[in-house]
Amino acid sequence: MSLTNSTFMLEVKNLNKKFGDFHAVKNLNFQIRKGEIFGFLGPNGAGKTTTMRMVTCYMPPSSGSIQVEGLDTSFQSLAVRKKIGYLAESNPLYSDMTVQEYLKFVGEIRGISGSKLQSRIGEMFSVCGLTKMAYRQIGKLSKGYRQRVGLAQAMIHNPDLLILDEPMSGLDPNQIIEIRNLIKNLGREKTVIYCSHILSEVSATCDRILIINDGEIVASGTPDELTQKSSKGNRYMAKIKGDRSDIESKVLSITGVSRINILKVDSDWVSAEIDASQDDIGESLFRCVVDNGWSLSELRHESASLEDVFTQLTRG
Amino acid sequence: MNNIVAIFKKEFKSFFISPIAYVFITVYLVVTNFLFFQSFFLINQADMRGYFGLLPWIFLLFVPAVTMRSWAEEKKVKTLELLQTWPVSDMQVVLGKFLAALSFVTIAILLSFTIPVTISILGSPDPGPIWGGYIGAILMGAAYLAIGLWVSSYTENQIIAFIVGVVVTFLIFIIGSPFVTMAAPSWMVPALTYLGLGNHFESIERGVIDSRDILYYISVVGFFLFLNIQSLGSRKWE
């Protein structure tokens, strides 16, 4: 085990965490390469935060090991903590301090001092958009600004591994875009772990995604790989002008169509969801419409979204 | 060391950010001055025995109020989680907090300098017991603080931290007092007398600075700070 040659930023082996009878994290195994933006996903209570608390050395695992660049969280805890920047889920802050005082304090704890610290604070102000709020008391800031202060706190020492637990909560859409770009930029040099239960957020930013449920890994891979895993198969959405029952029976008789579900009938227009067991029934569908003399205003092939994968995997 | 300094600065400032510190010091000074001067002119002696005699009792309420929020607040707003993922050891945090609280209490104690000045104008007191009294007061304050801090680490409720702090300090104070030692079996008396928080202060306050008394207070501080570090680490085995 050498420190410099470790190719993984984070290596989690057989990780378990029990709270009394409750088995919060069950035998997790995963690796994160350097420079990756890694999405850590799961519904609330899946064990994301517990896992991150173990990675950040807040609590030790019940069994198994966690290594950050080859350093073990149980035995080299202080060295590991130096490498990590952590935005906790609840984003706790010292509300009686001003933003400036707080960042200075965190910087000092992180071992930065003097002019280096001043320049880092200045950088954090501009990166996180906090310049105007520098001398405000943290307790009086809005949720979005508090979130930015939490981010600035996590990044002030330029950490190798940045762990963001639900970083977007409380941010407005513009801020979400800003922070998303920020994360993407950071991911060029740094390793980022991004925990969330909002899939679209993660799929927009992450290189690789791990989905956990009830403390167990249920899927992992790139966003594309995961999408393909969906059992949803082929689904077409069509909007056809014609008689409802007629459409139902005729479409069902097309080879390959397994199910038709009428979503809405608006005057003569019938919106339907058509599931196919084989690929590419688009053409036969179109022929069917033409042969029956109906009109078609919409026909699209829907690929399964990550949301569907997520729902399928985490609802059991 | 830098970490201790950073924690110290932050904690010390946090006392003075809110008006609580000023209210606190004012109340402390008004109460102690009032109680002291009430009997001072009746006794008609230029010394501070009466003043230092008050302190073990005043500290019983005053010191747990200083320490009650130290850990309880961090637990309540969950900043403890953040603090414990930063590269600081539990010992550094405990020491930083303790030293900040000690500095605050020391300032409060030293601000009673008007009393020795007044007495010196009115008469000619013996400076030995006064210096001794101040040193003893700071040592005793340190012991009370260590106990209060430790108690605060078990709860996220400041009021509970305060009340339990008062009770625990009072118990350790009272075990050495004649009230308890008279009833205790005779073989326990020397041990109880030694352990009681107040007895060591009495001899220092008389102007006799004995290394055993200083050692006693330092041990109490060390013991409770150690317990405090342990109680912070206990999260690991939950």
- What are the pLDDT digits (tens) for A246-284? 888 888 888 778 888 888 888 888 888 888 777 677 888
The alpha carbon of residue B235 is apart from the nearest alpha carbon of chain A, in Å, by 7
pLDDT of A2 strictly over 60: no
**pLDDT at B98 (0 to 100):** 97
Residues A25 and A157 in one domain: yes
φ/ψ region of A57 (left if φ > 0, alpha if ψ in -120 to 50, else beta) reads left
Residue A58 lies inside a defined structural domain of this protein: yes
Q: Which domain holds residue B25?
A: 2-233
Which of A178, A211, A228 terminates a domain? The answer is A228
User: Cβ–Cβ of B10/A94 closer than 8 Å?
Assistant: yes
User: Cβ–Cβ of B89/A78 closer than 8 Å?
Assistant: yes
CB within 8 Å of chain A, chain B residues 5-24: 5-7, 9-10, 13-14, 17-18
The alpha carbon of residue B54 is apart from the nearest alpha carbon of chain A, in Å, by 34
Give the helix/strand (H/E) hosting A19. strand A8-19
Neighbours of B45 (CB within 10 A): 12
Gyration radius of chain A's alpha carbons: 25
**pLDDT at A51 (0 to 100):** 92
Residues A151 and A277 in one domain: no
User: Cβ–Cβ of B82/A92 closer than 8 Å?
Assistant: yes
From residue A290, how far is each of A241, A242, A266, A293 by CA, in Å?
Answer: 11, 11, 20, 5
Instruction: Name every residue whose Cβ is closer than 8 Å to that of residue A51 and which is 6 or more positions away in sequence.
Output: A12, A15, A17, A25, A28, A40, A212
Where b means 16+ CB within 10 Å and e means fewer, A149-184 reads bbbbbbbbbebbbbbbbbbbebbeeebbebbbebbe
pLDDT of A168 strictly over 90: no
Across residues B134-158, what is the average pLDDT?
Answer: 93
The helix/strand count (H/E) of chain B reads as: 12, 0
Task: Compare A17 and A302 and report the one with higher pLDDT.
Answer: A17
Q: DSSP assignment of A116-151, as one string?
A: HHHHHHHHHHHHHT-GGGTTSBGGGS-HHHHHHHHH
The helix/strand count (H/E) of chain A reads as: 11, 14
- Whether residue A145 contacts residue A135, with contact meaning beta carbons closer than 8 Å, is answered with no
Task: Compare A71 and A282 and report the one with higher pLDDT.
Answer: A71
Residue B44 lies inside a defined structural domain of this protein: yes
Q: What CA–CA distance (Å, rounded) separates B4 from B72?
A: 20
Residue of B nearest to A61 (CA): B236
Residue B121 lies inside a defined structural domain of this protein: yes
Instruction: Please write the tens of the pLDDT for every residue from B186-227.
Output: 888 888 888 888 888 888 877 778 888 889 999 999 999 999
- Give me the helix-helix angle, B211-233 and B127-152, nearest 10°: 20
The alpha carbon of residue B61 is apart from the nearest alpha carbon of chain A, in Å, by 25
B81/A contact by beta carbon, under 8 A: yes
Which of A228, A259, A284 terminates a domain? The answer is A228
Q: Which residue has the tokens 């107040």?
A: B198
CATH of the domain at A132: 3.40.50.300
Residue A1 lies inside a defined structural domain of this protein: no
Structure confidence at residue A303 as a pLDDT band (50, 70, 90): low
**Residue numbers in B near A81 (CB within 8 A):** 85-87
**pLDDT at A15 (0 to 100):** 93
Residue B195 lies inside a defined structural domain of this protein: yes
Residues A49 and A192 in one domain: yes
**Residue numbers in B near A164 (CB within 8 A):** none
A139/B contact by beta carbon, under 8 A: no
Residue A314 lies inside a defined structural domain of this protein: no
Q: Which residue has the tokens 């930029």?
A: A185
Residue A180 lies inside a defined structural domain of this protein: yes
Q: Which domain holds residue A201?
A: 8-228
Q: Which of B76, B84, B123, B101 is nearest to B13 (CA)?
A: B101
Q: Which residue has the tokens 């919106």?
A: A271
Residues A58 and A165 in one domain: yes
Across residues A217-225, what is the average pLDDT?
Answer: 84
From the list B6, B82, B87, the residue facing A88 with the nearest CB is B82
Residue B133 lies inside a defined structural domain of this protein: yes
Q: DSSP assignment of A266-298, as one string?
A: ETTEEEEEEEESSS--HHHHHHHHHHTT-EEEE
Percent of chain B surpassing pLDDT 70: 98
Residues A117 and A85 in one domain: yes
Cross-sheet strand order for the sheet of A161-165: A84-87, A161-165, A191-196, A37-41, A208-213, A216-221
Q: What CA–CA distance (Å, rounded) separates B105 from B111?
A: 10
User: Cβ–Cβ of A56/B85 closer than 8 Å?
Assistant: yes
User: Cβ–Cβ of A108/B5 closer than 8 Å?
Assistant: yes
Residue B147 lies inside a defined structural domain of this protein: yes
CATH of the domain at A283: 3.30.70.1340
Structure confidence at residue A233 as a pLDDT band (50, 70, 90): low
**How many structural domains does chain A have?**
2
Residues A188 and A240 in one domain: no
Q: What CA–CA distance (Å, rounded) separates A102 from A100?
A: 5
Residues A72 and A186 in one domain: yes
Between A and B, how many CB-CB pairs are < 8 A?
Answer: 69
**How many structural domains does chain B have?**
1
Residues A273 and A207 in one domain: no
Residue B238 lies inside a defined structural domain of this protein: no
**pLDDT at B236 (0 to 100):** 62
- Whether residue B93 contacts residue B232, with contact meaning beta carbons closer than 8 Å, is answered with yes
Q: Characterize the bridge pairing of strands A191-196 and A37-41.
A: parallel
